Structure 1
């Protein structure tokens, strides 16, 4: 088996069928899909079980109650059978060749632990948006000091490296992948492909929309913790942009994004 793909679902019935289909139609067929139902109150679990009945590659992991993204993804990583674990949010979807391209990097370079990609951004109706997420390609370890260029939903991870690092830290609710990338980058390379291999839906349920300030606050705390862990001030200038963003009123930021054609 080449890859285990994790879809974390919490009240995601409206978009989960599309997310499941995007995984099962990958050009890499030798995979498993683990749908993790994080205590949904809608039909998410039923949709996942129906997919498992149709396709033996699908497994359903029910958390029983809402435990949060970090804990649910950690459970999925523990349950995964493949050496590579990819993540796709339940409201996003991937291009058919996404896994093929990311696996080629991990197969070629044994020192790479995370592979991300460029993402399209669309609104809830599927209309194209100007990118709001900042991107960097290649080895992004230096970029990580300033921002997170790899959204969790675009990442493919080397499972043994993630387990050795302790997985996602459940103290974080909104920026847990950024913390994990920074920890992995201390021992591994972290790479982003300059190819559009996934689509991010920037709707009202998106973390960037409903909890932007909390996400920014977590990102600041994560960077400070990384500087302390490494016992250096190198990269401390990367704190400037998120602090400015945190202090900027939301009304100002949203007005600017409307002018740029970005998600609010």
Structure 2
């Protein structure tokens, strides 16, 4: 939103967009837990979710998820704009239907294409300010698209026994660590390259470029480190796959903070 405004966006608009986004994400997560309640009970990582423990009934969860989806869409439509509303609803439906119901249990590419839902918020933030689209949010969409697999696959490597137990074919379940690490490196290089497109197209300046190069360099260092350990057939805690997972969160936070600060330094 700072990039779209090239400065500080209307704070009321930011607040409404954040509330709408939180409600939409909450609805998507509730519906995801409703659909996945059978396998959540069998996975250590999800065994304490409300439906599994009985804190919330399936019907309550379903109604809550649908209600949040409706409220978030209407909130976006009547207080932000309808382009943002449809993008938000599209993200929710893509996550619930395409990822959770269709891809997750059928293909190792589930997180690649299912991750599109998590890329749409950058489009929503831009459209909230401009009520239109441009190349800048599309580039950021690309960054998030190529960020998602190397962000999630290290975590999947850590808990692959969980996924294997319930028959979810995450890439680390069906492929060796070497194969997964190679894919992580490929996606990482593309992600960093895409992140650098904003400056030559005139959307960002020197500050963002410096941060993107430095943060991207750190990411690539970690990604190649994981690949080297995987090639050496290191396993267990010595694989240190979670280092890249944790850095991925830091990376995307730093990158978007740089995007917000950059307009003030140009």
- Assess same fold via TM > 0.5: no
Q: Which has the higher strand share?
A: 1
Q: Which has the higher helix share?
A: 2
Q: Give TM-score scaled by structure 2 length.
A: 0.32
